Amino acid sequence: MNKSIKIYLAGHRGMVGKSIAKSLQDKGYNNVVGKSSKELDLTNQNDVESFFDLEKPECVILAAARVGGIGANISNPVDFLMDNLLIQSNVIKSAYNHKVRKLVFLGSSCIYPTNSPQPLKEEYLLSGYLEKTNEAYALAKIAGLKACEYYNSQYNVNFISMMPCNLYGKYDNFDLQFSHVVPALLRKIHEAKINNSPIVEVWGSGNQLRELMYVDDMAEATVFLMENYNEKEFINVGTGQEFTIKELVYIIKDIVGYKGEFHFDSSKPEGMQRKVLDVTKINNMGWKHKYDLRQGIEETYKWFLASK
């Protein structure tokens, strides 16, 4: 791909978007455009069309989304469904209308049914019921990846979709009410250390299994697929490795230097019991993650401390 190609990076101010922007820059792409939500309302089709009229991007990376952890998803299902449907539909439609050469849509591993066999293969999509705690977000992401697939089939465009596992890293949201598991636990455990709290409460039994990927690996995969993947079927992106929440908690405890104990509250929602992606397809293409879990959390904690 020509390094001077004009790329519109939707969601460039978020955790994933910032890392993708850095990865694009490192790879020599020097014509990347981004707009904040105050500058461009992606839920408004007229505004999105006007932006495409003005900027005329040749490639689009759609990393903009309303995201959050279990608590946020349970409390705000309408927002997670409608905002994501609008953002995706508007950007994908405008990309088609303006003859964009390539679009990369970023989804989520929550698209898979809650009782799917593990690890999760791409063909398991729509084979069962979704996990209730994030059903609204999952439905929106399924609609987005299917829209790309249908545009490819009907109009012979090059709109690809990638489904990452749970992500974490620098620029993450550390708000305890709305954040994902890694930033929430990092902040909780850090504050417990500072306040000399003897016990930290953790949602769920701690036995749930999760696949967690550092955001810079996700960014590298995004650019890799932009350059190398041209299939209408979506592709999984992850580490292929899994850890229990208890293992995660004690890794964070060690990194932070917390001396207290943990109370695992099984009465709280904990999502799918196990969720790990089959990443055979992308690994066979030549991409593999670089950061192990401890390295990624160490980098995230350094950023968290520096940003305070």
In this predicted structure, what is the pLDDT of residue 71? 80
Q: Tell me: is residue 11 an annotated ligand-binding position.
A: yes
Distance CA 294, CA 217 (A): 14
**Confidence band, pLDDT 50/70/90 cuts, at residue 175:** confident
In a domain, 196, yes or no: no
Catalytic residue among 137, 168, 229, 291: 137
Q: Which amino acid is at 93?
A: K
Identify which of 60, 55, 79, 80 has the alpha carbon closest to the alpha carbon of residue 12.
60
In a domain, 109, yes or no: yes
Which run of H or E residues covers position 20?
Answer: helix 15-26
In a domain, 203, yes or no: no
In a domain, 303, yes or no: no
Q: Tell me: is residue 16 an annotated ligand-binding position.
A: yes
Q: Tell me: is residue 198 an annotated ligand-binding position.
A: no
Report helix angle 245-256 to 181-194, nearest 10. 40
The mean pLDDT of 259-274, rounded to a whole number, is: 89
**Confidence band, pLDDT 50/70/90 cuts, at residue 67:** confident
Structural domain count of the chain: 1
As a whole number of Å, the end-to-end CA separation of the chain is: 39
In a domain, 174, yes or no: no
In a domain, 24, yes or no: yes
Give the domain extent around 143. 7-169+213-238+278-291
> What mean pLDDT, rounded, does the chain reach?
96
In this predicted structure, what is the pLDDT of residue 270? 79
In this predicted structure, what is the pLDDT of residue 69? 76
- 45-54, 89-98, 180-189, 225-234: which has the minimum mean pLDDT? 180-189
Q: Tell me: is residue 164 an annotated ligand-binding position.
A: yes
Q: Tell me: is residue 227 an annotated ligand-binding position.
A: no
For residue 70, is pLDDT > 90? no
- 137 flagged as catalytic: yes
In a domain, 116, yes or no: yes
Q: Tell me: is residue 240 an annotated ligand-binding position.
A: no
The CATH number of whichever domain residue 223 belongs to comes to 3.40.50.720
Note whether 277 and 119 are within 8 A (CB): yes
In this predicted structure, what is the pLDDT of residue 176? 80
In a domain, 77, yes or no: yes
* DSSP designation for 132: G
